[in-house]
Structure 1
């Protein structure tokens, strides 16, 4: 094939590829821009579905209504505390369980039994009532631990970590064992540094799960002062006295539509800030050049 023909084909493919990816990116970005525009618009245009990508009758009233409530900052702090504790606990337990399960049955006696138990509890759940009774019996109602401990061991994440560590070259650990390293030393100094991509993945999964959870706060918290942010925002939308909020000099600026849009955007912001810092690990080479010969 002539070079000119090959170059023309490559150019056409490149242009088509960029066009396709640009359209896909625009489709992903459109809902975000729409939500932001609605949250910054007045109640009338938002209720009439006139807002598309640009705010109409720009106003910050929806955010003011949410932030002005006395319990907003408290619930925000609870969500931050829950997310920090939850991500730290999830990541630690996942890595501690995933590493030994990545070994063979000879290295870890009973490995198949452990795997069967993990798969079983991942597929079958006791249900809402037994879980609530367990949390109540343990005295965790209205406690931050009621939001953290029930999801402390994410089975799906453990399977991800286990499969990832299985793919790492055995020669690396064998060389460390020859030099006198123990399993703990190998895990800390070799496996974890090579596992940055999967660690970033499970951190992101855990962060999203804890930050977006609202139902468990509604169940395990009897006092609304202990609500995490998502539960608090849910109750704001569901309040029966929402009209009294709107009538407090906000009647022409706020309604359920703009409040919901503001709620969605507030919930989205932390994830939008976190993802760029973790994204590089998804595409980075893992063990290129780690094993020679």
Structure 2
């Protein structure tokens, strides 16, 4: 029986120094949430996504987004077959368990919006017919932050809100990068992970995560943070009710994958930046005076932390 520790160990064989990111991706898989990976080119975003998907015994498909990709290229299309004289449904790559949406901000807004229904309702509609997607269903999207605006289309707030996490991939440490050089110089090319867990395992872990206890004080703590973002003068857009639920569920799953049966304030604080920052927007005044991460830290610091909220 594969354990969570086994799964994480296998992932860390292929990608060095990304334990936190893989934790967040596992949380998203168990919650049927979605992850947006952002970093400079060449930092291993796509390899991370592929390594994660390869460790899961499910369907994995990839779409390389460009401005000429159409919505039907993602969701599928119904076309006329002259041999049968009937319309035939051809499912798109979105009919999978894990979809890698590579360089998603190169797609046009129309194509980006074709993912909204799938990400929120786990279904697609083609010519009036609703098609359920396999379970679990997870989108892992990548984008580069430093590219010029020419040929790119920034994701709107409604699209960003569908992502459970946005993970900023920093450069590895000196020691980690040294280990990368040693590992890949001895074994050129991609190190493929073994498929360790299947859909039944994901369903079992997800059920156990849902049973993690959340004290009422923790719920109130999360809500106080949410409401503080809505009322802050430097924020044009605070956190939504969807964000509150995402933070709660992600905190429960984070506690579970770390062997706990209850949520602590530290669990909430750990997942909060990845679950919240991409859903917030600074006001005009805020842009001139604050950085979003610093502002979120100030909000969290201003709210008393529950002390005995364990069971």
Greater relative contact order (CA < 8 Å, ≥ 6 in sequence)? 1
TM-score > 0.5 by shorter chain: no
Normalised to the residue count of structure 1, the TM-score between the two structures is: 0.25
Normalised to the residue count of structure 2, the TM-score between the two structures is: 0.24
Quick check: which one's strand share is greater? 2
Bigger CA radius of gyration = 1
